[in-house]
Structure 1
């Protein structure tokens, strides 16, 4: 019996029926016997078939990707004289279209990242059809050295030794770059609180291995990360004002390429949706003008799309405001700390960029912006 797909995916069922004419019967049966996974990906097992997939024969090529509606079909060519058919038919959460970029991701080198390697990120990115991915592991520059250097001890609030993360991440990314096939892997770092250590920030920014640096404000001076604040005891309007003032100070520096999650200071508020940003628009506009004048970028960060309620950092009205002020450079990111969130709902971020007025997105190579047209 054929597996019944969810009602809202009847178009997918029709596409699967269509594919029956192009793949061997045993492969088709495998598809229908697989459980319908939450990430909308159905995998075939390898089969040593004596018949390749004739409609998609790829000759000497190792792999060939063919778009069939919302699906990718990947076929391996001959291996050691035996035809091995490996089919992966995917109805992606991004609508099945190849994605341009995910320029803010974390690996096991980040203190809050899942224990997954750069190679695992690459494999997933190429499966998704990503063109550009940047690995940007955390470097909290105000705690760049081990805790003992500061006469402190590690706690759940403070994390130290950003130097180890910086060196480890850059070394691994540099090594893995050569193994990429369809993906352009960019070497980056997310440097937090660089206003507190400007000389060290300049030194890190000059590292020749780097393609890009994301500048972020996760905490205010002498305060813990916004994640750890007790908001019940905070003057919220003053806290938000202090946050945007600190972001402006960051924007005025030259040791970053992409300004991260502009509204991070609101992320963990009990009711962030109720916050009226009108009083803060003058400083936000000054941030935007500074970014524009320096020829740098802001990011549209989609990490909040997996939360309830959903949000992006920043929201569409601020992205549109940035564009209308003359903003040219915009990057998209999931801020994925886990491989399963790489490229998560990226099609929606691309749609938001278009809605804000952007016809192109931006990548950085060796700190130089390059415009990539939106499809």
Structure 2
């Protein structure tokens, strides 16, 4: 059986990680990877947002990222391909700023994610039988907006909401909203955008990947072909975590190849026997 050779979701200088990029690269090499995309966070906020958080993601932050990336690209040349990546959170909250960032900085791979509902992190929402449906529907609206017009390559952890609901003893499944979920996945297919298998749920108490097999199968049935795998590592010990499980899921969903990106252009490698 083939293996997964690339981890396309990890963090280094992100405010919630702060791990030297060099350590992430060394971990990838130790685990037999040939390529990684370091997708540090850039959270996008509405122009009128008054909080302090946007100050974390200024141009100085991105400049530092590229200094570290260049160092790693040169140091590990011939041993590991290090792609320039970014995880844009809620880019449609401020499309002008998201566009400015993507025009100013040259990335190989853009992961589009929804972490927040109108500036409130999904982790900090209150999940209950009374609120779950409302939160899920708002999340689906933002996911569709991202799928419909967002500038990204793959959608990150599409059902992230289930992680945080589970932590509060609740269950929220996007599969309970087949019409809305299908519309999102169809739009991804129409635009040639991909999904990721995010393995972080397997080590963070959820017991399954983001998404699990049901959504992966639906995406494939709708014609989806672009799939990446990411550990969502925020420390070097989690690089390539649970990739054996991700490989089994990808094959079970009907995928025979996984995607790689360079200069935001997609290519594939086989995972079939």
Q: Does TM, normalized by the shorter one, top 0.5?
A: yes
Give the drift of 1:344.
0.6
How has the CA–CA distance of structure 1 residues 247 and 277 changed in structure 2, closer, same or farther, with 3 Å as cutoff?
closer
The partner residue of 1:106 within 4, 8, 11 is 11
1:162 aligns with 2:57: yes
1:287 aligns with 2:184: yes
What is the number of equivalent residue pairs in this alignment? Answer: 268
Q: Which residue of 2 aligns with 1:255?
A: 151
Give 1 or 2 for the bigger CA radius of gyration.
Answer: 1
Matches within 5 A, 1:96-175: 99-107=4-12, 109-113=13-17, 115-142=18-45, 151-152=50-51, 154=52, 158=53, 160-163=55-58, 164-175=60-71
CA distance, structure 1, for counterparts of residue 61 and residue 154 of structure 2: 19
Cα pair 1:240 1:266 within 8 Å, conserved: no
Map residues 58-77 of structure 1 onto 2, 5 A cutoff.
none
Give the TM-score normalised by the residue count of structure 2: 0.90
Where relative contact order (Cα < 8 A, 6+ residues apart) is larger, the structure is 2
Task: State how far apart, in whole Å, the 2-side matches of 1:233 and 1:281 are.
Answer: 19
Runs of 4+ in structure 1 displaced over 3 angstroms?
Answer: 149-152, 274-279
Deviation at 1:283, TM superposition (A): 1.2
TM-score by length of 1: 0.67
CA contact (8 A) 1:132 1:184 kept: yes
* CA-based RMSD: 2.2
Point out where structure 2 has 5 or more consecutive residues left out of the alignment.
none
1:320 alignment partner, one of 213, 217, 222: 217
Q: Secondary structure at the match of 2:9?
A: strand
**CA deviation string 1:179-235 (max 9, x = no partner):** 2232211111101111111111112223453101111111111x4101122325961
- 1:105 Cα shift? 0.2
Is 1:369 paired with 2:272? no
CA distance in 2, matches of 1:310, 1:167: 37
- The structural deviation recorded for 1:307 is 2.4
| Cα separation, partners in 2 of 1:308 and 1:279, compared to 1, 3 Å | closer
How far, CA to CA, are the matches of 1:174 and 1:166 in structure 2?
Answer: 12
CA contact (8 A) 2:175 2:215 kept: no
Q: What is the alpha-carbon distance in structure 2 between the residues aligned to residue 234 and residue 205 of structure 1? A: 39
* Matches of 1:151 and 1:117, distance apart in 2: 31
Q: Which residue of 125, 128, 141 maps to 1:229? A: 125
Map 1:194-233 to 2 at 5 A: 194-207=91-104, 209-221=106-118, 223-232=119-128
- In 1, Cα distance between the equivalents of 2:84 and 2:162? 28
Q: Cα distance 1:237–1:371, how it changes in 2: closer, same or farther (>3 A)?
A: same
Native 8 Å contact 1:101 1:130 kept in 2: yes
Mark the CA change 1:322 to 1:166 in structure 2 (over 3 Å): closer, same or farther.
same
